[in-house]
Each structure stands twice: as structure tokens, then as C-alpha cells.
Amino acid sequence: MGPSRDESTSSPPSPSTSTSTLAVHTYDCLCSTHLLTTPYVLSDLQQRASPSLDHARILPFPSTSPAGDNDQEHQDREVVQDGQEQQQKPSRILPSLLSTNVKPVRKAIVVQREDGWEKRRVWRCGRCGVAVGYEILGDEEPAGDIAGGGKKGDLLGKVLFLLEGGLVETGKWAG
């Protein structure tokens, strides 16, 4: 059975905003190493639904890089689908930045769940090794070693499931 997709990722979480400014939150590992910068408050993110036992928070990543050269062209072009033209809507998911201190484990693990099996790649703090989250791998992705130890771009268009207790909020800045 493929990876479980019981999560509700159809509507992205609301970033923390106050009037017209966007707040940016930073999160560190328990060892005080900076790991994540995001416009989202982690406690406001959706949690994995049952039968998930870890109640991980769902952090979405946009499907395109925010610094891409052709972002405006990509968002404004028309898409032809099934013979009909429609305006492509820009992604409402705001970018979050993972620090280079967050490292994916080279070998994926397979976890047995009540509703089947799930292939995961665990992401750890590069300094102390504590697991801070994981991504679910599809059937087409190898369960063995990943080439080059993984890259941050691997998460584009995916979600990272943040484990409870792995991150501590260290700051909030309003723009």
C-alpha cells in the first residue's frame, strides 16, 4: 500500500499577519541551533489526522522557488487542460526556509500504520541529531540511499511533517 495521505493539505495554513505586515517566526532545535524560518506559527499548523500517532504538524512548501527568474511569467500564463483554457492561480503557500543545519537521513525508513505502510525520510538537526521532522516518500522514490544526501529543493511542492517537541520558537519579527 502506498503512503498514507490522510492529511488535509488542500488549504494552506494562514500565515501570521497583522494588518498589512507579515510576521516571520524563527525556530531552533533544543540544542539552540537555528533550523527554520517561516511566516507560520507552528502551533497553528494542521496536525496529521488519525491513525497518526505522532500528531506531527504539516508544513507545506510551495511548488516553485520564490526566487525563480520566471515566477511572474509562470503565474500569469494560461494553462490548457482538457482542451479548455484557464488562468493558473498563483500558489497561496508562502515559502519557509530550512537552515542548512537541517539534514535528511540518507536511508529512508518504512513505518507500519493501522492503514498500511508509509515510507519516510527523517530530517534531523545537523548538530545534535535530534529528529525534527520527516517527509513521506512516494512509491517511485527509492527507500535506500539518496544521492548526495538530499537537497533542500527536494521539498518543493511537498510537505514536511514537524515532530512535536523538536523545535522551539526563538523569535518573531514583523516587517
Determine the pLDDT at residue 2: 45
Determine the pLDDT at residue 129: 96
C-alpha cell recorded at residue 48? 496529521
Closest CA to 127 of 101, 97, 104: 101
Determine the pLDDT at residue 67: 52
CA 44 to chain centre: 14
pLDDT per residue of the chain (175 residues) written in tens, 0 to 9: 444 444 444 455 656 544 457 899 999 999 999 999 999 999 999 999 887 888 999 999 887 755 544 443 333 333 444 444 443 444 478 889 999 999 999 999 999 888 889 999 999 999 999 999 999 998 766 555 444 344 544 677 789 999 999 999 999 888 6
Burial 6-22 (b: 16+ CB within 10 A, else e): ebeeeebbebbeeeeee
Judge whether 23 and 173 are in contact, CB under 8 Å: yes
Determine the pLDDT at residue 137: 92
